Amino acid sequence: MKQFNLAGNGIKLILKENVLAVLSDKPLTTISSAFHNGGGLKKTNAILNVEVLKSCSDKYLHDNPEPYIVDSAKKFGLNENFIGMVTAAAVENFSLVSKTNGELAVSVIATAADNEGNTCNFAEAAGETINVQETEGTINIIVVIDGNPTESCLGGTLITVTEAKMAVLRELDIRSRFSGDEATGTVTDSVVVAKTNRGAPIAYGGPASELGQLVGYCTRKAVKEAITKANEFMPSRSIRERLRERHLAIEKLAFELSKVDDLKVDARMLAKILGAEPLFASLLFAAVKLDDDIKNGLVPLEFGDINAASERFGNLISQASNGAKVQTEPKVKDYGTVELPLFTKHVLINIVRNAFSKEKTENLK
């Protein structure tokens, strides 16, 4: 068992087996989306984040986790009067961040991952079509405020927490499993905001308020630490992995290129080509980001004709290799059968053509 002090007197964070518990000597007022006793304003002395062990993570548990949560709470001698969340993350990998400004103090506890250590296996972008049979993988956040936010302020703080979480997902370029778009969360995220009721009423919890800035800072730091603690997640993950997250797997790219006779390449060859030249890999990733802007209608007017701009961008590779001057009207073979986003398509075409040309040149030596 491990124990940590949180913001406010008599409030502790205790890790015991598969349960991470916030326990308070005096009742806390909470607002939450927690599964057990969540919703609306509640008074409680205990907030639990319960890890679903691998041996229990089958479908019936996800459909009805209530008995599992209640049974886990017995480890702390609790009856059913507690706030309870459930997670597939290893709760021992939690992150705790606290900050104080004068008499106002905030502590944020976050967990993130599934039971395989994959942080955002079920990341999603709110508003997209989601078809999921399993629900493993989640980001759970508990916020403890040693202060007295009003009811509306608690609601505003809940929004601030969500915005801060989304900022981390954007910073780490975490993508929706379902669309490849920038993720806004996972399918089972849960948040609890609790206050001690100490001091004068606090009216504002938005990002610009004193409270909101404390909460935003602690949430961003705690969520980022929790995500990067997961075994399978690396901010510096490979370009191959970053492409896969965008639904542009190397296998798909190789398949599309191979529709053209002079671009026959398999996934292994393409991965080797991308790994051999950092400049080309950089241009490819820049192309992918440009295609994101095209998809979202964010193309600057200065780009002009997108087809021509993407072709010229791709030609930068041959220019970099040959020291050629920029062409005003680049001549590119018709690769209309290659069904990929424009900038990605033309950069890949030139990367592979360059690699094949270099290979032929070396074979002649």
Q: For the chain, which domains are there?
A: 2-229 (3.60.70), 239-364 (no CATH)
80 vs 151: CA distance, rounded Å: 24
Closest alpha carbon to 289 in 254, 256, 246: 246
- What is residue 327's DSSP assignment? P
Half-sphere exposure of 127 (CA within 13 A, CB side): 4
Alpha helices in 53-150 (DSSP H): 59-63, 66-73
In the prediction, which pLDDT does 364 show?
A: 39
Q: What are φ and ψ of residue 320, in 5° steps?
A: -65, -35
Q: For the chain, 365 residues long, give each residue's pLDDT as a single digit of tens.
A: 899 999 989 999 999 999 999 999 999 999 999 989 988 899 999 999 999 876 665 555 556 778 889 999 999 999 889 999 999 889 999 999 999 999 999 999 999 976 565 666 678 999 998 886 665 668 999 999 999 999 999 999 999 999 999 999 999 999 998 999 999 999 889 999 999 999 999 999 999 999 999 999 999 999 999 998 876 677 888 889 999 999 999 999 999 999 988 889 999 999 999 988 888 889 999 999 999 999 999 999 999 999 999 999 999 887 766 654 444 444 445 678 899 999 999 999 999 988 888 765 555 33
What is the predicted pLDDT for the residue at 187? 87
Neighbours of 120 (CB within 10 A): 26
Query: What is the token pair recorded at 119?
Result: 């942080």
Report the DSSP beta bridge partners of residue 180: none
Predicted pLDDT at 322: 62
**Per-residue pLDDT at 53:** 77
Global model pTM greater than 0.85: yes
DSSP annotation of 261 reads: G
Q: How many CB atoms lie within 10 A of CB 139?
A: 26
Residue with tokens 């409680």: 44
Check residue 62 and give its pLDDT.
59
DSSP string for 40-80: SEEEEEEEEEEE--GGG-SHHHHH--HHHHHHHHGGGT--S
d(CA 142, CA 223): 11
Q: Which helix (H) or strand (E) holds 232?
A: none
Indicate if the alpha-carbon torsion angle 178, 180, 184, 189 is positive or negative.
positive
Q: What is the pLDDT of residue 330?
A: 41
Residues near 263 by beta carbon (within 8 Å), at least 6 away in sequence: 257, 335, 338, 349, 352, 353
* 177: nearest Cα among 140, 137, 212: 137
- Phi and psi at 88, nearest 5°, equal -90, -5
For residue 48, count other CB atoms closer than 10 A to its CB: 29
Amino acid at 175: R
Query: In sequence order, what are the residues at sequence separation of 6 or more whose Cβ sits closer than 8 angstroms to the Cβ of residue 204?
Result: 153, 156, 210, 211, 212
